[in-house]
Amino acid sequence: MNPIARLKALINRLLPRASFARSVGVLAGGTAVAQGMGVLSLPLITRLYTPEDFSVLAVFSSIVAIVSVAACLRLEIAIPIPETDEDAANLLALALIFCTVASLAACIAIWLFSSEIVTLLRQPKIEPYLWTIPLGIWLTSSYSAVQLWATRNKRFVAIARTRMVQTLGSVGLQIVLGLTSGIGALGLLLGQLIYCGAGSLGLLRTGWQIEKNLIKKISFQSLKANLEKYKKFPKYSTIEGLANCAATDVPILIISSFVAGPEAGFLFLAMKVMIIPLGLIGRAVANVYLSQAAEKHRQGELKNFTLDVIDGLFKSGVGPLIFIGILAPAVAAPMFGDQWQRAGEVIAMLTPWFLLNYISSPISMAMHVTQNQRKALALQIAGLVIRIGLTFFAIKFMPINVLEFYAFASALFYAIYFYVIVSSVKIKSRDIIIAAKNNLFLTLIWVGAAGLLVSAIQFITKSTLF
């Protein structure tokens, strides 16, 4: 047996095809390649586009995110739950129907009220690009539905492949347009559209080849029956999803509208950097967790399963996020260009928020699996009020500290969110403390490494100056 075959055999023996670790590994591996391409491209993209261009992208991305999260009436997150593929296929069809209707409604709204929308946003630079918003909504929401169908069927290799296609297509187009066309923010927006939906056709084609007989099972009666059966998702989860997304993105729109300068652009870049570890591991864990959580709940094993996932999240991401937060202020200007120094400071501010987000978001579907949609809705509305309220407070009384208040409000919300999620699956605070202690040494290694690097950078900078 040759060395490659031996290695493959070893992986198959250590990580069986149905194992959680293997599924996460496949998704994380594909995402790692995609995120790697994204990271390598950022220093070039930030030199091709200005903070003001990124502010336009921030407004576009926020609007698309808010609308697309509700476009499918949250029926897409129910796709992994049914025991039969027939019901799941009907849920997929419902999700695609509703997201198409939502996108058409957005087209009509922009056609009729474009001037009013621009006035409301206080962002005149986005007016020529409003037409991209309905397309972004459809691409984002349809990809989410198709991806969750693939998640149900454990096609993690196909999902990982689409992640690479999304990133490569997005950054490739942004770089080419930035180098050749000089079209400014439109180059960023077109690249973002590629990122929103590239890969949907590939996932649909793969699903069609394997489950084309299920198309015959989709009927008006089945659609109606499944809409009734899963009515809690449109009834509660739609508002919950809107509140969750709006709590993150509405403050960005507020900051873009009321705060002078490109603060929204700095915030958007900072969030893009901090999302890298979340996208690398967090999203992969979330997809695999959702694919197995319903079955674990039926077996009475959801508590231990969730605790194992939390322990894995502590191991894989807490240290790297702290590392990025400590290092960012020292490396932002050399990495992204002098005009982006403020982004490094913002990254440091966001670190507590993204730490709590990282360990809570991947397991948040536990609230739906345990039929706690009403509690999840109340929690997300509270988060929306906290974040928007503190952002407006800062704009009114402490405008130079708006981003600090937004970061604090977000961290506070995710601390509460994490507590409610683990409580819903009967995990005690003591269990979380034990998991944190077990991973403390690894976290301290990351902190020490960041401190040493910052000291080295400061020493080199001083030596260069003198």
Residue 457: predicted pLDDT: 84
User: Are 208 and 305 in a shared domain?
Assistant: no
> Count of domains in the chain?
2
Give the separation between CA 428 and CA 303, rounded to whole angstroms: 10
User: Are 237 and 211 in a shared domain?
Assistant: no
Give the separation between CA 145 and CA 99, rounded to whole angstroms: 9
Q: Which domain holds residue 156?
A: 18-230
User: Are 193 and 286 in a shared domain?
Assistant: no
Residue 4: predicted pLDDT: 37
Q: Let me know if residue 6 belongs to a domain.
A: no
pTM of the complete model:
0.79
Q: Let me know if residue 55 belongs to a domain.
A: yes
Question: Which of 230, 265, 300 is at the close of a domain?
Answer: 230
Give the separation between CA 228 and CA 199, rounded to whole angstroms: 30
Residues listed for the chain: 466
Give the separation between CA 423 and CA 178, rounded to whole angstroms: 48
Q: Let me know if residue 1 belongs to a domain.
A: no
Give the separation between CA 224 and CA 440, rounded to whole angstroms: 51
Q: At which residue do the structure tokens 């501010």 appear?
A: 349
Contacts of 268 (CB under 8 A, 6+ apart): 54, 55, 57, 58, 61, 252
User: Are 77 and 179 in a shared domain?
Assistant: yes
Q: Let me know if residue 73 belongs to a domain.
A: yes
Residue 189: predicted pLDDT: 95
The count of C-alpha atoms lying within 13 angstroms of the C-alpha of 302, restricted to the half-sphere facing its C-beta, is 22
User: Are 225 and 248 in a shared domain?
Assistant: no
Q: Let me know if residue 69 belongs to a domain.
A: yes
User: Are 321 and 218 in a shared domain?
Assistant: no
Residue 461: predicted pLDDT: 72
Helices 402-424 and 263-277: crossing angle in degrees, nearest 10, is 30
Instruction: Check: CB of residue 322 under 8 Å from CB of residue 450.
Output: yes
Per-residue pLDDT in tens (0 to 9) along the chain, 466 residues: 444 344 344 345 444 555 555 555 555 555 666 667 777 888 899 999 999 999 999 999 999 999 999 999 999 988 988 888 889 889 999 999 999 999 999 999 999 999 999 998 888 889 999 999 999 999 999 999 988 888 887 777 777 788 788 888 899 999 999 998 778 899 999 999 998 877 777 677 665 655 667 777 788 999 999 999 998 888 888 887 888 888 889 999 998 888 867 888 899 889 888 887 676 677 777 777 877 887 888 888 888 889 988 988 888 888 889 999 999 999 888 888 888 999 999 999 999 999 999 999 888 888 878 878 788 888 888 989 999 999 999 998 988 889 999 999 999 999 999 999 998 888 888 989 998 899 899 999 999 999 999 888 887 877 665 5
Task: Looking at 337-397, list the stretches that DSSP marks H as alpha helix, in order from N- to C-terminal side.
Answer: 341-360, 366-369, 373-397
Question: Which of 179, 203, 230 is at the close of a domain?
Answer: 230
DSSP string spanning 45-79?
HHHHS-HHHHHHHHHHHHHHHHHHHHHTTTGGGGT
Query: Is the backbone of residue 123 left (phi > 0), alpha (psi -120 to 50) or beta?
Result: beta
User: Are 122 and 107 in a shared domain?
Assistant: yes
Q: Let me know if residue 5 belongs to a domain.
A: no
Give the separation between CA 306 and CA 102, rounded to whole angstroms: 34
User: Are 250 and 221 in a shared domain?
Assistant: no
- What are residue 346's phi and psi, to 5 degrees? -65, -40
Residue 99: predicted pLDDT: 95
Residue 237: predicted pLDDT: 82
User: Are 169 and 277 in a shared domain?
Assistant: no
The angle at the Cα of 267, spanning 163 to 365, to the nearest 5 degrees, equals 50
User: Are 295 and 437 in a shared domain?
Assistant: yes
Q: Which of 80, 67, 381 is closest to 230 using CA atoms?
A: 80
User: Are 200 and 256 in a shared domain?
Assistant: no
Q: Let me know if residue 226 belongs to a domain.
A: yes
Question: Which of 215, 230, 245 is at the close of a domain?
Answer: 230
Q: Let me know if residue 2 belongs to a domain.
A: no
Residue 394: predicted pLDDT: 92
User: Are 211 and 67 in a shared domain?
Assistant: yes
